Structure formats: C-alpha cells, structure tokens
C-alpha cells in the first residue's frame, strides 16, 4: 500500500482552509458549467454508463449500487454497476474501469477504492471518449477527471466535531474532557477531509486545554483505520482502553462513521466501561437504533438517494450535450487540477432531531417513532 495519506490530507486541507480563510460560503460559487465546456457533444440516449463502486464497507454503498441500477434504467441508459471485491479491491476496480472503457461506456462513475491508484484507468477512459465522474470520493493526481459529486466532506467533519463537544457538555457541564480520535481509511481521500473538518472545531479546544486526547494520539496517521474496518477500530479501542483508561474516564470519541462507532461502543462495553459520547456518519439502521436507545450520540444524514439522483442528473446533461450543474469550483484540488464539483449539504442527527431528519425516509423514519 502506498502511503500517500499525508499528501491527500494536505490537498484536502489546503483547499478547505483556503476556503475557510477567504470566508466564502461552501457553495458560494454557483457557476453552472464546468469541465471542458465546448467539447461536450452528447451521446445516444441508450448508451452504456459504467458505475464502479468500492467494497461494501457501509450501507450507503449497497444502496448506491441498487439506486444506480434502477435509476439509470429508468433514465433509458444501459448500465454496468460493479463493486470492487472485499480483498483485492484496487486491482479489481482498475480492471472493472478498464472493462467499462472497452465496452464503450460514455460516462464512468467511480466511487474510488484507492484515491491515488486510478489515474491510468481514468486517463484511458478519457482517451476513449468517456466522461469520468468521481462519486462521493475524490480521485487524486489526474487531469482526466471531469466532475466530482459528493456531500460536503469538510462540513461532515465539522458537524461531528461540534456534536462531540455538545454531547460531552450535555453529560458533564464542565471540562476538561478526555477524548480519543479515530479516522477512516488512508486510501480514501474523504478520510483526511472528515478528520480535518473535525479538527477545525476540536483543535482550538485542545489548544486551550478544555479537551485532552488521553492517549496523545492526535495525528491522522496514528488514528486512521485501514479499509474502514470495524475489526480495526475495535482492536485499536481495546488497546487504548488497556493502555490509557485503567482508572481515567473517557468522555468522548470522534468516530468518522457508524460502522466504526458501533465497533468502538462494542469495545467499551466489553471492557465493562460506561459508553462515552461517540459520533458517527451514514445513518445506518443499527446506528439509528442505537441513537434512539441513547447509546451512540449522533450520526450524519447523507441521503444516498439524493447523491445518486444528482449523479444521474449529471449523466443526463452530458447525454444531452450540455454542461452538468456544479456549485463549487474551489474546494477540491486533486493534486493536478481543481475538479468542478457538485456538493450536497450533510445534516447532523441526534436523538433530538431524528424524527424530523428521517421524516421522508421509509426505512429510518419508522425507527424514530416513540
């Protein structure tokens, strides 16, 4: 595994800090055209659209595959929707993208399994005339990526950091608070952006001494969980409990998503300790239940239905020969170019607003009824 975490984080961080520093809104740029406008000519309405997704590391990816299959069909396209395998994910995804290119896909939508290892396949797709859209996760170091569509990842991190502070204050009005930090997989560009967003909120409190990282492990490289694996998070939490929390109380844990949050909670419970305030992301069924039971503190709602819908809208625009709608031309520098982006707003969800947040969700809504 190439270690490019520092690089991908730096890309996200610089782009995001620049945005914060200049004080412009996150979707302040409402330009409606992006990419190489002028060269877009459209293509046949029943063309093949490729969708290459990563391993099913969280429920959102499972749902995305189903929604792409049905949504592209409904829009009149042929589709080829593939997941990278659970173990050899990088090679799998590279081969899938190459095969989609060979089959003549006009657009290839990619949820990258490793942000830094797809530039060769993306270049070949582009050279064959396909447009390439990065879905949810940015693809690094390529000029051949046309668009990026995602929830605002930096905002996700900020919401998690703020909720962690709020949750701890609710339980215990005065600090200092002792926390631990976790981040997602180093090969996923989002992991660094989520972490930077959270640290944007937490670092000032850490610097003031209001919040203390018990283990002292504050660097994203020390706290990242390879492959977003629950086992990895549980093992790290087990270790932290043994090394640092013999008698000390753990008030909160920054967890980047729900899968890891549940593993962290499991570890703490197995050790017979009280469950701290734990953040999450994705609104997974088991985590929403846990929030309603007062265990996990919060999650983030990133409605996959909306993300897939926006992506299919981009495909439809490209088919018609027009420029897809974008709303951000600054935040995502992939190391080679600033990628024209469409960002959707994430929503923080605790027990307090769950019923409202999931009112239109047929699966999650019923879980929030008292």
Query: What x/- string results for residues 158 through 197 when contact with ligand BGC is judged by CB under 6 A?
Result: --------------------------x---x-x-------
Does 257 interact with ligand BGC (rule: CB under 6 A)? yes
Whichever of 55 and 354 has its CB closer to ligand BGC, that residue is: 55
- Could you tell me if residue 184 is left (phi over 0), alpha (psi between -120 and 50 degrees) or otherwise beta? beta
Q: How many residues bind ligand BGC, per CB under 6 A?
A: 13
Please select the residue that binds ligand BGC; options are 8, 40, 47, 60, rule is CB under 6 A: 60
Whichever of 35 and 256 has its CB closer to ligand BGC, that residue is: 256
Query: Minimal distance in Å, beta carbon 136 to ligand BGC?
Result: 5
Alpha-carbon distances of 150 from 74, 156, 211, 306, rounded to whole Å: 22, 11, 31, 10
> Inter-axis angle of helices 5-21 and 189-208, to 10 degrees?
60
Sign of CA dihedral 72, 74, 77, 80: positive
Query: Minimal distance in Å, beta carbon 302 to ligand BGC?
Result: 6
Does 57 interact with ligand BGC (rule: CB under 6 A)? yes
Does 303 interact with ligand BGC (rule: CB under 6 A)? no
Q: Kindly indicate which of the ranges 58-66, 247-255, 310-318, 348-356 contains the residues binding ligand BGC, using the contact rule CB under 6 A.
A: 58-66
Under 8 Å between Cβ of 304 and 324: no
Whichever of 48 and 191 has its CB closer to ligand BGC, that residue is: 191
Sign of CA dihedral 159, 162, 166, 172: positive
Secondary element (H or E) of residue 236: helix 230-244
Whichever of 276 and 346 has its CB closer to ligand BGC, that residue is: 346
Alpha-carbon distances of 308 from 72, 151, 366, rounded to whole Å: 10, 11, 23
Does 282 interact with ligand BGC (rule: CB under 6 A)? yes
Does 255 interact with ligand BGC (rule: CB under 6 A)? no
Q: Who contacts 225 (Cβ-Cβ below 8 Å, separation ≥6)?
A: 182, 183, 184, 185, 232, 233, 236, 260
65-85 exposure pattern, b = at least 16 Cβ within 10 A, e = fewer: bebbeebbeebebebbbbbbe
Alpha-carbon distances of 362 from 277, 302, 305, 308, 365, rounded to whole Å: 27, 15, 12, 17, 6
Nearest to 255 by CA among 294, 286, 297, 221: 297
The phi and psi torsions of 93 (rounded to 5 degrees) equal -70, -40
Query: Minimal distance in Å, beta carbon 250 to ligand BGC?
Result: 23
Whichever of 43 and 151 has its CB closer to ligand BGC, that residue is: 151
Query: Minimal distance in Å, beta carbon 24 to ligand BGC?
Result: 23
Whichever of 111 and 214 has its CB closer to ligand BGC, that residue is: 111
Under 8 Å between Cβ of 328 and 27: yes
Does 279 interact with ligand BGC (rule: CB under 6 A)? no
Alpha-carbon distances of 42 from 46, 98, 237, rounded to whole Å: 12, 22, 51
Whichever of 62 and 124 has its CB closer to ligand BGC, that residue is: 62
Q: Kindly indicate which of the ranges 14-22, 54-62, 113-121, 195-203 contains the residues binding ligand BGC, using the contact rule CB under 6 A.
A: 54-62
Query: Minimal distance in Å, beta carbon 319 to ligand BGC?
Result: 26
Does 83 interact with ligand BGC (rule: CB under 6 A)? no
**What residues numbered 101-140 form the site for ligand BGC, per CB under 6 A?**
136-137
Please select the residue that binds ligand BGC; options are 117, 121, 160, 281, rule is CB under 6 A: 281
- Cα separation, 139 vs 65, in Å, equals 19
- Cα separation, 93 vs 59, in Å, equals 19
- Cα separation, 177 vs 249, in Å, equals 9
Please select the residue that binds ligand BGC; options are 154, 228, 297, 358, rule is CB under 6 A: 228
Query: Minimal distance in Å, beta carbon 282 to ligand BGC?
Result: 5
Binding site for ligand BGC (CB under 6 A): 57-58, 60-61, 136-137, 184, 188, 190, 228, 257, 281-282
């Amino acid at each position: 595994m190439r270690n490019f975490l520092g690089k991908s984080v730096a890309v996200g961080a610089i782009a995001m800090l620049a945005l914060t520093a200049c004080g412009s809104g996150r979707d302040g740029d409402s330009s409606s055209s992006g990419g190489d406008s002028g060269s877009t000519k459209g293509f046949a309405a029943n063309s093949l659209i490729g969708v290459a997704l990563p391993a099913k590391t969280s429920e959102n990816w499972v749902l995305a595959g189903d929604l792409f299959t049905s949504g592209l069909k409904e829009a009149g396209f042929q589709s080829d929707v593939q997941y990278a395998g659970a173990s050899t994910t990088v090679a799998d995804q590279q081969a899938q993208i190459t095969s989609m290119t060979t089959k003549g896909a006009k657009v290839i939508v990619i949820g990258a399994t490793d942000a830094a290892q797809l530039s060769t396949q993306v270049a070949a797709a582009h050279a064959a005339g396909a447009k390439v859209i990065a879905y949810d996760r940015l693809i690094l170091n390529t000029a051949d990526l046309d668009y990026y569509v995602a929830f605002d990842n930096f905002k996700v991190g900020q919401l998690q950091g703020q909720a962690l502070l709020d949750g701890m204050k609710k339980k215990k009005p005065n600090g200092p608070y002792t926390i631990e930090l976790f981040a997602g997989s180093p090969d996923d560009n989002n992991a660094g952006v989520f972490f930077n967003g959270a640290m944007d909120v937490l670092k000032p409190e850490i610097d003031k001494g209001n919040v203390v990282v018990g283990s002292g492990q504050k660097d994203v490289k020390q706290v990242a969980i390879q492959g977003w694996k629950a086992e990895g998070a549980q093992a790290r939490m087990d270790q932290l409990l043994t090394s640092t929390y013999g008698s000390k109380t753990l008030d909160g844990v920054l967890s980047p998503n729900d899968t890891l949050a549940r593993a962290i909670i499991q570890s703490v419970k197995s050790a017979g300790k009280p469950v701290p305030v734990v953040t999450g992301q994705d609104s997974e069924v088991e985590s929403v239940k846990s929030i309603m039971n007062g265990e996990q503190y919060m999650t983030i709602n990133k409605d996959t239905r909306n993300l897939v819908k926006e992506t299919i809208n981009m495909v439809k625009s490209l088919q018609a020969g027009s420029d897809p709608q974008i709303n951000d031309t600054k935040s995502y520098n992939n190391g080679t170019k600033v990628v024209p982006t469409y960002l959707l707003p994430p929503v923080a969800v605790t027990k307090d607003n769950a019923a409202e947040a999931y009112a239109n969700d047929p699966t999650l809504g019923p879980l929030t009824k008292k």
